[in-house]
Amino acid sequence: MADTIRRNDKKMAQGVDWVIVWLYALLVGVGIMCIFMVEYKPGVNIASSFLSGKTNYSKQLMFTSISVVLAMFILLADSKLFTAFANLLYAFGILLMLATFVLGKNINGSRSWISLGGGFNLQPAELCKIFTSLALAKYLSRQETDFSKLQSQIIGAIIALSPAVLSILQNETGLALVYFSFFVVMYREGLPPGLLVIGFSFGVLVIATLIVEPNILAVILTLIAGATIYFTKKARKRNKNLLVTIITVWVVCVGVQRFAVPYLFDNVFQCYQSTRIFSMVGKDYDCSQNKSAQKRIVDKEKAAKKPDDYNVRQSKIAIGSGGLIGRGFLKGTQTRGKYVPEQHTDFIFTSLGEAFGLAGCVAFLGVYLFLLIRIINTAEKQRSVFSRVYAYSVACILFFHITVNVCMTIGLFPIIGITLPFISYGGSSLLGFTILLFILLRLDADRNMVLR
């Protein structure tokens, strides 16, 4: 009996990357500290309130213990389990997401939660990130998959984006965007870089549309197209299709700029979403043009609210007031006064920025960057494609969450409900990221095995 335990211990510890485990512990610890800063009230017995289970930080502590137990189970599990169940889990995840449409509970305006009873709610989209990573890894590691073929690329994209579509349908746009980070993984596995360039150019075009006067932008685009035609005289002679391509690109660009983007903002997005995106680039959005807002007025529901960037403003004030070295632990007035809404979840970074200033933020982001680079290095060490793809998925998901969340609090990105991994309060988020990371550690421990 004792023998078995020792063997298990050995097995569990063997090959595990302890640096990542310590980074994980550090981040979770910082997270609990941040939640404590947000909720701290002077004169409360700290020890008892930590154990009471009533405050968010004590709940987070509880989630942490559950996560630790779960992490141990994962480390004890067999790596083959993950490859074996990858597709099944993915199917289960999609099913859960579909189930939300029936059983879903409306929290903060999105029907993406399933009530588990006892005050706990599960967000399937959060879990589905793990399942999608596994499924994508499984698909790409199949021997018969040749990812240089367009067909495989499209299948990969479908695997990655199906949960995103469901997420958008649940009105949880933020989480849907996470799934686009799988394109970075696919880029590593051979997706032509042109696609990413096109995607990036498209992003630039959309932002330019928001900032620049439509007619001026159209003129600029036309000039670029004309210049390209002029400078590719020789190439065009060799390749007759080039002119057609250039003209098509020009037509698409102008079409996007003149019609698609306004249509998107007026008809697809909710008024508040359009407002947030516009406010990020420093513009006001006229909600009276928004179809959903108009519909609301027609439905005699609440009139469209005045555009308000209260969240970002308060968040920027909190971070900005931190200065170089911060105001000190528990001394941030913005945090203490609860000026930043949702500070314990999506805006947790503000409490850190106010209390510890630029120095604290840089150190904190350094820890994150170190973790990400370490994960990518780990990925490149893998012998099996499954493990590598999975590791890249983990890195990309974490990267997307971190950058979007931080950019959101400092006004570089519109506000979408994206948590800060390991830091933000919330059981779903913490458990999700713990599972994600520890599966990677388990796979990495067995990196000499060939998994498919």
Q: Which residues contact another protein by CB under 8 A?
A: 42-43, 147-148, 184, 187-190, 314, 316-324, 331, 333-334, 336-339, 353-354, 357-358, 361-362, 365, 368-369, 372-373, 376, 379-380, 385, 392, 395, 399, 403, 406-407, 410-412
| Shortest spacing between CB 123 and another protein, in angstroms | 25
φ, ψ for residue 434, nearest 5 deg: -65, -45
Nearer to another protein, 51 or 412 (CB): 412
| Shortest spacing between CB 368 and another protein, in angstroms | 8
Nearer to another protein, 190 or 262 (CB): 190
| Shortest spacing between CB 9 and another protein, in angstroms | 33
Cα 203 to Cα 164: distance, rounded to the nearest angstrom = 18
| Shortest spacing between CB 41 and another protein, in angstroms | 8
Cα 83 to Cα 282: distance, rounded to the nearest angstrom = 47
- Over its C-alpha atoms, the chain yields an Rg (Å, rounded) of 24
Nearer to another protein, 295 or 331 (CB): 331
Furthest C-alpha separation in the chain: 81
Cα 191 to Cα 336: distance, rounded to the nearest angstrom = 48
| Shortest spacing between CB 359 and another protein, in angstroms | 9
Q: Which residue has the tokens 């599960």?
A: 122
Nearer to another protein, 118 or 193 (CB): 193
Nearer to another protein, 298 or 324 (CB): 324
Q: Region of 252 please: left (phi>0), alpha (psi -120 to 50) or beta.
A: alpha
Nearer to another protein, 132 or 334 (CB): 334
| Shortest spacing between CB 358 and another protein, in angstroms | 4
Q: What is the token pair recorded at 305?
A: 């609210």
Nearer to another protein, 379 or 439 (CB): 379
Residue type present at position 267: N
- How far from each other are the two terminal CA atoms of the chain, in whole angstroms? 33
| Shortest spacing between CB 443 and another protein, in angstroms | 17
Cα 149 to Cα 164: distance, rounded to the nearest angstrom = 23
Residue type present at position 32: I
Nearer to another protein, 94 or 404 (CB): 404
Strands ordered across the beta sheet of 105-107? 105-107, 110-117, 120-122
- Nearest CA to 209 out of 278, 125, 159, 163 is that of 278
Nearer to another protein, 335 or 428 (CB): 335
| Shortest spacing between CB 188 and another protein, in angstroms | 5
Nearer to another protein, 172 or 444 (CB): 444
| Shortest spacing between CB 35 and another protein, in angstroms | 18
| Shortest spacing between CB 311 and another protein, in angstroms | 12
